[in-house]
Each structure stands twice: as C-alpha cells, then as structure tokens.
Amino acid sequence: MSATVVISQQGETHTLPTLSFRPQPPLNASRLSLNTIAVQDDDADQGSPGPATPPGQNYNVETIEMAELGPRTSSSSGPPPVVFPAASTKTRRTATIQFVALCWTLFLAGWNDGSTGPLLPRMRDAYHIGFGLVSLIFVFNCLGCITGAAANVYLTDRYGFGKVMVIGATAQVASFAINSPAPPYPVLVLGYAINGFGIAIQDAGANGYVASLKSNASVKMGLLHAVYGAGAFAAPLVSTQFASMSHWSLHYLTSLGVAVINLVALIAVFRFKRQEECLIEIGQPPVETSTTASGQNLYKEIFKLKALHLFGFFVLTYVGVEVTIGGWIVEYAMDVRGGGLSSGYISSGFFGGLMLGRVSLLWVNKLVGERRVIYVYVLLAIVLELVIWLVPSLIGGAVAVSFVGVVLGPIYPIVMNHSARVLPPRLLTGAIGWIAGFGQAGSAFLPFLTGTLASSKGIQSLQPLTVANGLGDPRLVAMMGVMLVLWIFVPSSSRRDD
C-alpha cells in the first residue's frame, strides 16, 4: 500500500510520493530496533526517483524509511540489544534459588563466628597458651578479612561476581581442611587467616548482590542476616560437644562439610557469571556501573565517598561488639560466673536472639523508622550489658545476653539497607562490598583486643570493653558508645551523589 502527500501552494497542487508500506510479520516487542529516519534536501538528492521540483520551488521532502522490525543486521555498528526476560514463574524461581544460595553463604559465615567461643577454652588447654596467644587467631583472621575487603573491588571488577564468590568459598574449604587435624598452633593461625579472606569477599559479594535487588531488598537483607544468626546459633550447639572431647578439632570437619555445600551451591547457581548477567536472569536490568574500567581510579571513586567510611567504621564496630560478646562470653561465664563447659550454650542463646531480632523486629523498624530505631536498639543493648556485668548471676546473665542478641540483631541489615539508599548506584556493589568486608575485620580485631586485655586485666574486662562505662581501664574502648556517635554522622538523606 502506498500513500501520497498533497501540498497546495499559491493555488497550485503538487502530489509527492512519500511512504511505501509492506505487510509486516507480527512484531516481537522484545526485539524492536530503531527505525531509520533520513531527511534530505531535493537539490542534494541527485538521481532520486520521483517527479522533478518545479522551477522556483524548493521543497524539503522528508523520506521515512521503515526498517523492518526485528534483530539488527550484522552491518549494525552497535552491540545487539539486551533482552530482559519478562517476570515469570521461571525468573521468580531463579531469583529464589539465587537468594537461597547466598543465604547458605551467610549461614556458613555465622557458623564460623559462632564456633569459636566454645572452642577457646579447649584451645588454651590443648596448646598450653594464655589469652594473649590464643587471641592470635583473631589477629590473623583480621588480616585475612582486611586483605579480602581490599582485594574484593579489584577481583570483582576483573573476574566477576560468580568467580570471586567461588574463590572465597574455596578459601574457606582450604582453611577448615587445614585446621581439622589440630595442626601446630602457627598453622592453625594461618588457617584462620585464609578463612578470614574467604569470608570477607563472600560477605561483600552477598551483601552487594542483595542490596542491588529491586524487589523487596529490605526484607531480603533482613532474612539474609537472620540466616547468619541461624548459623551462629547452631554452631555452638555442635562446637560445645566437641570442646569436651579429646579430638576437639574434629569440629572443623563439620565446618568443612558446610563449606563444601556452599562451594558446590555457588558454582551450580551462579556458574561463574558476572553480577549483571545473574541479574538479567531474574528479569532485572543491571544498574549502570562506574565508567571506570578497573584499577586505582575505581578505588579512588569509591574511597572518596565520606559516607562510605562512616558506614565502614560503624559496621566494623558493630561486628566487633557482636562477635566479641558471642566469642568471649563463654570464657566470662566460666571464669567470672563459675559456669562449666556447658556455658558454651550461652553463646547459642546470644546468636539465637540475633536471628530472632532480625525477623521479629521488622515491623518495629518500619514503625519507628530505620534510622531512629538504631539509637533505641543500641541504648537497650547498653542497659542489658550493664545487667550482665553488674548482676552476679549466671542464669540472669545468660538471659540478658540473649536479649542483647535480640536488640543488636536488626542493626546490621538496617545499615546495609540505609547505605543502599545513600551511596551512588553506579558504585553501590563495590562500596557495599568494602563496607561488609571491612566490617568483617571487626569480628577479628575487637575480640583480639579483648583477649589482650584479658591477659593483663582478667576476662572480667570483657564488659567494660563492650559497654560505654567509665569503670575499668581508661584505655578501654567504649564500643557501643562509639556506635552511637558514628551513627549521628551517618547521612540521613536518600540523595545519591552521582
């Protein structure tokens, strides 16, 4: 079918052929390509068919060529269009499988952090060392975490999300294999360093991935870290049993089994793909990332963000307080409150409260507001820690520790959600990766500080360390007070400076 355009000018009528239409096959909306629109001047269009323009008349004729709708031809200079699958049962199932795989990664991280506390007294007996030397496992674990956090941005940019997650999972498998036969203490410490590296880059990847999701990211972040709490709750139930056995180090074989499942799941689900490819599989277009390809410029862009460092030090302090309580509360209960080896179950109570708080208090976070509720939770935790320290009751202290876990639990996922609203989208994955990885170092640094102080001041210094209180050694860091101060300076605006 053809169409004409009739132009009337000064009483004269001219008919110009313009469009030619051909029957087209049904359009595939997901494979549309841009139409070609060409505007030509009659005088410049030499040899074009059609009637000549009368003398003295100059018409601009718009010739519209309707390109056939469909895939771009090989002559196109640009890349082929990216096709995003529509939301369907398949994409939702894929999204669920991906989320479950990341939850297992966080379960392993919680399992690792929850295992250490009940094993510390057994380690000191087995290796005939004091608080200072046994704390070296935290020092080298901290070094591994810092190394992993620093390397994560480069590794993810170069190799992609899927491969980096597998690297971290492999490191954890290696560390548990090294520690399971109770090697000489320096080798055990090396195993903890490798473990710290693996945890840091997996923690960074999992948090960055979930924060990038467009569907229910806040709820999923809470569930992700509730699963961390589940792992930390389950681990002391197992490690306490091994702590009373002669072959206590066989506990690392159970950890090895959990780590192997994690490695296989990450390979099977993400298949070494980049994060952008994995997001496309669930029907989500990836956010435009930084135009910087790699190298120091990418680090510079991320590390010049003031909010990044506030979040990083807040998370480092929080994770340090969390793991210090969960790790050293067993020694505190045994040496100060007269508990036995079964005191290891107190650690389970703390991490169980952590898990419960991250799920059951979601409605409180929404009601009060995620930013304001942080102050409420930290102040409640300080009061409960004072009860543990000042009330000489083993049972009362154990109950209070569980409630400390409940109020501390929601803080970490809230911080991750808030950082996703504040930080630039194009740098979000790398920035949250650094926050999570750097924060993980707190799980090693502050427990080491506790062990060092315990060598000179006794394990009773645990509570002044974790509570903002003037009693005890003035050099002690009031960690919960620091959390409150840091949160005051964290940006409240959701504006992102791109």
> Which pLDDT belongs to residue 39?
39
Whether residue 438 contacts residue 316, with contact meaning beta carbons closer than 8 Å, is answered with: yes
Is the model's pLDDT at 472 over the cut of 50? Answer: no
Same domain? 31 vs 101: no
Identify the burial level of 49 via C-beta atoms within 10 angstroms of its C-beta, where 0-12 means exposed, 13-18 middle and 19 or more buried: exposed
> Which pLDDT belongs to residue 225?
92
Query: pLDDT digit string (tens) for 64-101?
Result: 444 444 444 444 454 455 555 556 788 999 999 999 99
Same domain? 216 vs 283: yes
Query: pLDDT digit string (tens) for 157-171?
Result: 889 999 999 999 999
Tell me how far the alpha carbon of residue 312 is from its chain's centroid. Answer: 12
Query: Is position 479 within any domain?
Result: yes
Same domain? 138 vs 36: no
Last residue of a domain, one of 31, 65, 99: 65
Last residue of a domain, one of 65, 100, 117: 65
Same domain? 33 vs 128: no
In the chain, how many domains are there? 2
Which residue would you say has higher pLDDT here, 287 or 187? Answer: 187
Query: Is position 497 within any domain?
Result: no
Same domain? 296 vs 408: yes
Query: Is position 312 within any domain?
Result: yes
> Which pLDDT belongs to residue 497?
47
Min mean pLDDT across 188-192, 197-201, 214-218 is at 214-218
> Which pLDDT belongs to residue 66?
41
Same domain? 303 vs 226: yes
Residue 186: band (very low, low, confident or very high) from pLDDT cuts 50, 70, 90: very high
- Maximum mean pLDDT: which of 177-186, 239-248, 479-488: 177-186
CA-CA distance, 208 to 433, in Å (whole number)?
A: 6
- The CATH number assigned to the domain holding 395 equals 1.20.1250.20
Whether residue 451 contacts residue 132, with contact meaning beta carbons closer than 8 Å, is answered with: yes
- For the chain, the C-alpha Rg in angstroms (whole number) is 30
Pairing of strands 12-20, 2-9: antiparallel
Same domain? 314 vs 177: yes
Is the model's pLDDT at 6 over the cut of 80? Answer: no
Query: Is position 75 within any domain?
Result: no
Same domain? 33 vs 121: no
Same domain? 145 vs 216: yes
Q: From its phi and psi, is residue 50 left (phi > 0), alpha (psi between -120 and 50) or beta?
A: left
Nearest to 450 by CA among 435, 461, 441, 438: 461
Q: Is the dihedral of CA 381, 382, 383, 389 positive or negative?
A: positive
**CA distances from residue 134 to 60, 122, 185 in whole angstroms, order as listed:** 86, 10, 9
Query: pLDDT digit string (tens) for 199-211?
Result: 999 998 999 899 8
Residue range of the domain that includes 241? 91-489
Query: pLDDT digit string (tens) for 216-245?
Result: 888 899 899 999 989 988 998 898 889 888
Residue 62: band (very low, low, confident or very high) from pLDDT cuts 50, 70, 90: very low
pTM of the model: 0.72
Query: Is position 82 within any domain?
Result: no
Residue 214: band (very low, low, confident or very high) from pLDDT cuts 50, 70, 90: confident
Same domain? 293 vs 417: yes
Exposure of 295 in the CB half-sphere (CA atoms within 13 A)? 4
Quote the crossing angle between the two packed helices 442-457 and 306-335, to the nearest 10°. 40
Residue 341: band (very low, low, confident or very high) from pLDDT cuts 50, 70, 90: low
Average pLDDT over the chain, rounded to an integer = 77
Min mean pLDDT across 178-192, 259-273, 377-391 is at 377-391
Query: Is position 210 within any domain?
Result: yes
Whether residue 114 contacts residue 351, with contact meaning beta carbons closer than 8 Å, is answered with: yes
Min mean pLDDT across 140-154, 355-369, 430-444 is at 430-444
Last residue of a domain, one of 13, 30, 65: 65
Query: Is position 401 within any domain?
Result: yes
Residue 286: band (very low, low, confident or very high) from pLDDT cuts 50, 70, 90: low
Same domain? 12 vs 131: no
Query: pLDDT digit string (tens) for 19-51?
Result: 444 555 554 444 444 333 333 444 444 444 444
Structure-block tokens of residue 183: 């090697």
Element (H, E) at 104: helix 89-127
Percent of the chain with pLDDT over 90: 34
Same domain? 410 vs 468: yes
Residue type, 399: V
Residue 263: band (very low, low, confident or very high) from pLDDT cuts 50, 70, 90: very high
Query: Is position 185 within any domain?
Result: yes
